[in-house]
Amino acid sequence: MGFNKLGMAVVISLIVMALAACAAPTPTQTGGADATEAPTEAANGATLSGDVAVDGSSTVFPLMTAAVEEYNATQPDVRVSVGESGTGGGFKKFCGIDQSPSTDISDASRAIKPEEADACAKAGVEYVELLVAYDGLTVVVNPANDYAECLDVAQLGQLFRPEDAENADTWADLDPAWPAEPIKFFVPDPDSGTRDFFIEAVIAGGLKLEGDNANIRQDDNTSFSSDDNVLLQGVAGEEFGLGFFGYAYYINNTDKVKAVAIKNKAGECVTPGSETVQDGSYNPLSRPLYIYINKASLTDKPQVADLVKYLLSEDGFPLVMEDVGYSLPPEGSYADGLAEVEAALK
């Protein structure tokens, strides 16, 4: 009888424990992967959590968000926020221009400017610059446009240079055989690195311009936005529209806009694409894309170092590059970047 009571107590105890285990709440998922997936471990064996703040280029934004999504599948407790305030807007946050430094990583579609680097230095922000991809800045028109198939740099300059705006108001101003219809221009706003690169490559003819000279047409026919999707929709909705932005926004919307071939230095009309960007034939509108990492974030926040190492691994940027629409940087770029990161961590 005593044995039966003891046996019954053990059975009841086991049942209670089993029910308690079934009722236990699942971990809260904050990183973006499946909520039932347990956090995995970092390369050093530690489970990671915490925040990573990323902001900057709208061109780099699709690449970064795609790679971060893959990362969150392996580190679901790391919360990575990715903003797209433009390259200039990103550096304002990263370097503490008009505010305290507030981001760990800054995406950029151009190299950091001297004045931005000075602001970082004054704020005590040391950084690592990493080349992560190549992009073919893409000039686009409405699909109904069947005449502006190829433009040279001189024509682009005529279209977008402020002092020539009155001489390029209609498509017929470029070619009398084209429609005498006003062109609707869709242009990135002043915080855009894409805008800066276009001004330097096209309007300035490869020269660096400062102050009022570093500008682009501004008239009633020109609309500005920091959101490349807004620029895309603008051109898509205007029969005589014209705009430019990163290749990723074009290649994923070929049903809405049409890419214009650009006459390169060899006199060939070339459209942007992975092959033409990598072999250099799509010039002068091929450009490097960067990310900048705050060194203090690398050393003080393990999740930042882990994310950056992941982005440079085969499972990071290389895995999503083709789907996003950009081109890999020169061979060895990621290995060199990883070496810089490791050096910063010592």
Segment 251-277, tens digit of pLDDT:
999 999 999 999 999 999 999 999 999
Angle at 28 between CA 303 and CA 22, to 5 degrees: 135
Strand partners, 345: none
pLDDT at 161: 87
Which two three-digit tokens encode residue 268? 């060939």
**What is the residue whose two structure tokens read 């800054």?**
106
Angle value at C-alpha 134, between 128 and 140, nearest 5 degrees: 130
- Torsion sign across C-alpha atoms 87, 89, 94, 96: positive
Q: Measured in Å, how far apart are the chain's first and last C-alpha atoms? A: 69
Q: Tally Cβ neighbours within 10 Å of residue 284.
A: 17
| Contact (CB, 8 A) for 106 and 55 | yes
Q: What is the token pair recorded at 339?
A: 């070496």
Predicted local confidence at residue 210, as pLDDT: 55
Sequence-ordered list of residues with C-beta below 8 angstroms from that of 13, at least 6 positions apart, any chain: none
How many CB atoms within 10 Å of residue 327?
22
Interatomic CA distance for residues 317 and 298, integer angstroms = 19
The CB-side HSE value for 93 (13 A sphere, CA atoms) comes to 23
For residue 144, count other CB atoms closer than 10 A to its CB.
Answer: 11
The whole-number pLDDT of residue 35 equals 30
Cα gap 309→84, rounded to integer Å: 22
pLDDT in tens, the chain (346 residues): 444 433 444 333 433 333 333 333 332 222 333 332 333 446 555 679 999 999 999 999 999 999 999 999 999 999 999 999 999 999 999 999 988 999 999 999 999 999 999 999 999 999 999 999 999 999 999 999 999 999 999 999 999 988 765 678 999 999 999 999 999 999 999 999 999 999 989 987 655 555 544 689 888 999 999 899 999 999 999 999 999 999 999 999 999 999 999 999 999 999 999 999 999 999 999 999 999 999 999 999 999 999 999 999 999 999 999 999 999 999 999 999 999 999 999 8
Selection from 194, 185, 190, 321 nearest residue 245 by Cα = 194
pTM value is 0.83
* Domains along the sequence of the chain with CATH: 50-135+288-345 (3.40.190.10), 138-284 (3.40.190.10)
Q: Helices 87-95 and 114-122 sit at what angle, rounded to 10 degrees? A: 20
Going by DSSP bridges, is the β-strand pair 138-141/241-245 parallel, antiparallel, or unpaired? antiparallel
As beta bridge partners, residue 50 has 78
In sequence order, the 6+-apart residues with CB closer than 8 A to the CB of 124 are none
Determine contact, residues 136/249, Cβ cutoff 8 Å.
no
Amino acid 46: pLDDT = 60
Is residue 240 a contact partner of residue 146, using CB atoms and an 8 Å limit?
no
**CA–CA separation, 57 and 289 (whole Å):** 9
